[in-house]
Every structure is written in C-alpha cells, then in structure tokens.
Amino acid sequence: MIKGLQEYLASNKCFKLILGANNENYEEITKLVALYSAAGCRFFDLNASEDALLAAQAGLEYSGKSDCYLCISVGTEGDKHLSKYQINNNCILCGACEGACLEGAIRKDNEKMHVDDKKCIGCARCTSVCPVSAFESYQKKSNWENLDKLFPLCECVEFHMDSNNRDEIFEKWEYLTKNFKGMLSINASRVGFSDVELVDILKKMMTYKNPEEIMIQADGLPMSGGADTYNSTLQAVSCADLIINSNVCPYVITSGGTNAKTAELARMLNVPINGVAVGSYARKIVKDYVRDDNFFNNDEKFSSALKIASELVGSV
C-alpha cells in the first residue's frame, strides 16, 4: 500500500485530485473520480466518510482503474477546509453569489437564495461578491470519532494542521501515527505560522513516524484555485520551496491555488516538487460536463471532458 504510493510520488509526476475535505456531493465525486482516473490521475482526496470513499470507489469501477489511491482529510479545531456558509436575512436577492460559486451550491428558489450544504466547500467566493454581508460561516467537524473504521478503505490520511494550538496538533498527529498504517500526509500552510514556526512544527512531526511514510502537501492559498495563472499558484510553489529547502520530508507536493501552470512554474524556479494536488481549478474546467445528468451515458460528452482532464493531468 505504502510502496505503490511512494513510487508514484518518487516519479515526480504525482497528480492528486482534491474533491474537498467537506464536499458531500457524492454523485459528482463519483463522476470526477471516474473522469480523472481515466485521464491518468491515481490519487484522490476526499472528506472523511464512508459515503465519500464508496462514491470514489464507484468512480474507479466505472473507469476500470485499480492502481489508484484514496486519501481522507481530517483537521484540527477550526480547520478552514471544513467551513461552510449559510445566508442570513440581509440577502437582497441580487444573485451575485450564484454566479460566483464554482460548486453550484447556491440557487434561487421561491424568492429566496439557498446554499446546498452538501455542495458547499467553504471557499468564500460568495462572501467576496455579496454587497450586503449576507453570508455567515459555520464549522463542520472532522470525523475523528469513527476515523479508525475508515482506515481499511483508504491508502492515505491527510492531516490539516491549521490550529495554532501545538498541543492539539501533536495530540492528533500522534493518534494518526500510532493507528494508521498507510501513508500519512500533512497539509501545511503558512497561514497562521511564520516560516520558522512552520518548519519547526513539521520537523517535530517527522519524528513520530518513518519520514519515508509521510508526505507534505504545501498549501499556498487554500481553496483559491480557479484562475490558470502563474500568480494564482505562486504561493503554493513558494511554500513548497520553503519546505524542500528545509529538508523536512522526502515527498512534497503543492496545493492551494494550483492549476495547469503549477508544475511549469516549479520547474522554472527549480523547485523539485513530487507532484501537484489540484482542487477548484480541476473541478471548474469540467463542471459543465460532469453536472449533466447524462454524463455517463453520453460518450461524446465524456470524451470531451476526458480530453480537458487529460491535458491538466499531463501538465505535471
């Protein structure tokens, strides 16, 4: 289990599709896993639930791919990746939020705007366009209580170390290192930490387990993807550069604002990443296809989406 993932990372061509730590749109997850696995992606990041893992497995059954790896994400208290949004009474029905949401989670119904809790991933694009502050965030919790039951269904567990509470970080990290026998991933962001603090915490985390069984996902600007520009992905490459130059971990991939230019920028800047994890941008470029009810029954539509997805996977 670990060896295959290590070899994939060591190829420096690892492509990881981020479906979202709080994305509960399971029908779409199945479609995206089917599409991107057919395009050559072998690594999929999901919310920590049996429903998400089963949805991903259904996608792999459709594509017929067996050499793929499923990862579930958990976090500390207040993990930004587990935020969602709801609409308050300030709403003036302008509809700006509906057009801004890449996940299709917001719609107008019966003269009210609604947020679909299952589709919302907490990216906050809605808040940036709302003229009247009609959105309020609330927090989902990581599934720590039943996490051990999911371990046999996945090859990797990713830990989002978003808390400034070091005791909480190391307590939960210790639990994972003692109880999960597969590959562990640390989602590491500079948000909330100085460079020195981030490296210091990561180096200490490496002492809990064989470093060869740990990978780091350098998170530039979490959930900021969407634009296919160098500027969008610059912080992800910069964060990876910091971690690689600190000799913290043998495997480092990028995330947070990643796109089709991430690997190219890393090569230009001589940052030797092992791969790229793409979320918002990867979902955005195929959304019009996968949200069609006839996606699996329309060969032409699937083929068109596959060409787009293959180009992205091939950019790594």
| Amino acid residing at 131 | P
pLDDT at residue 116 in the model:
83
What is residue 273's three-state secondary structure?
A: coil
User: Do 259 and 285 contact (CB within 8 A), yes or no?
Assistant: no
pLDDT at residue 137 in the model:
87
CA 2 to chain centroid, in Å, comes to: 20
pLDDT at residue 28 in the model:
96
Question: What token pair was written down for 231?
Answer: 């500027």
Q: Per residue in 188-242, pLDDT tens? A: 998 888 999 999 999 999 999 999 999 999 999 877 777 899 999 999 999 999 9
Whose tokens are 């195929």? That residue is 286
H helices present in 159-209, as ranges: 166-179, 195-206
**Which of 297, 247, 219, 232 is CA-nearest to residue 16?**
219
pLDDT at residue 118 in the model:
83
Per CATH, domain 81-139 is 3.50.30.30: no
pLDDT at residue 272 in the model:
98
User: Do 115 and 16 contact (CB within 8 A), yes or no?
Assistant: no
**CATH class name, domain 2-79+142-313:** alpha beta
pLDDT at residue 274 in the model:
98
pLDDT at residue 298 in the model:
93
At 20, which helix (H) or strand (E)? none
Per-residue pLDDT of the chain (316 residues; tens, 9 = 90+): 799 999 999 999 999 999 988 899 999 999 999 999 999 999 999 999 999 999 999 999 999 999 999 999 998 887 777 788 888 888 988 989 988 888 888 988 878 888 888 888 888 889 889 999 989 888 877 788 889 999 999 999 999 987 778 899 999 999 999 999 999 999 999 888 899 999 999 999 999 999 999 999 999 987 777 789 999 999 999 999 999 999 999 999 999 999 999 999 999 999 999 999 999 999 999 999 999 999 999 999 999 999 999 999 999 9
Distance of alpha carbon 316 from alpha carbon 314, whole angstroms: 5
Residue partners of 300: CB distance under 8 A and separation at least 6: none
User: Hey, where are the domains in the chain?
Assistant: 2-79+142-313, 81-139
Q: Exposed, middle or buried by CB within 10 Å (0-12, 13-18, 19+), for 277? A: buried
pLDDT at residue 202 in the model:
97
Distance of alpha carbon 1 from alpha carbon 82, whole angstroms: 27
pLDDT at residue 174 in the model:
97
User: Do 75 and 83 contact (CB within 8 A), yes or no?
Assistant: no
Distance of alpha carbon 256 from alpha carbon 238, whole angstroms: 11
pTM, two decimal places: 0.92
